[in-house]
Chain A
Amino acid sequence: EAQVTQNPRYLITVTGKKLTVTCSQNMNHEYMSWYRQDPGLGLRQIYYSMNVEVTDKGDVPEGYKVSRKEKRNFPLILESPSPNQTSLYFCASSLSPGARDTQYFGPGTRLTVL
């Protein structure tokens, strides 16, 4: 089944404790992206990747890191999480980097930083 998977689905952590949220897609998509969803703000893009080893900042990249060493994986790294990073995070992928392509979203990761 074609899908985007994220792990973990739920995470509660404390300020400053490094964490990684994994994202994997099995559709051989070139483009992958991370969003955060906050009430009243919709989805805001954190980082995106147009292909292996090619990443760029989205609209809210502060406090986050990403890497794209393999085509299928795009982990999101929070080196020193803070309470304002408490949010619902979505990974998405699309066939090509072009803006016309449909994005396929993972099920989301709900992160709470205490």
Chain B
Amino acid sequence: AQSVTQLDSQVPVFEEAPVELRCNYSSSVSVYLFWYVQYPNQGLQLLLKYLSGSTLVKGINGFEAEFNKSQTSFHLRKPSVHISDTAEYFCAVSNTGGFKTIFGAGTRLFVKA
């Protein structure tokens, strides 16, 4: 069975500082990996996804993530955050041959002025 663990439930950070949101997964088969963002009172939207190829994936709003197969991780990074990045971030995993997506519990990012 697959699972996703987001290692931090909340991450406070000052504006213009770098941030890393950590995600680990477990799966016995090949996977696709996703990061979604949820702004207050809104649905989720895709930030980026890893399907195959280069392990460094660039997404919207300056975010990027690196797929590390040996460590089964897919950490999300941004070199300089803005107040507007305050949101909840979800890591998700799908089997390459399946139809279901498993989401992590989420990480709340608070960006302080």
Nearest Cβ distance between residue A29 and chain B, in whole angstroms? 13
Question: Interface size bucket, A side?
Answer: 20 to 34
Q: How many residue-residue contacts, CB under 8 A, span A and B?
A: 65
**Are B43 and A100 in contact, with the CB atoms below 8 A?**
no
Q: Smallest CB-CB separation from B91: which chain A residue?
A: A42
**Are B44 and A102 in contact, with the CB atoms below 8 A?**
no
CA gap between A99 and B2 in the complex, in Å? 13
Specify which of A35, A40, A104 is in contact with B105 (CB 8 Å cutoff).
Answer: A40
- Let me know if B46 is at the binding interface, CB within 8 A: yes
Chain A residues with CB under 8 A of B9 = 40
Per CB-CB distance, the 10 closest pairs between chain A and chain B, nearest first, are A99-B94, A105-B43, A43-B103, A42-B105, A42-B103, A105-B44, A102-B46, A107-B43, A42-B106, A100-B32
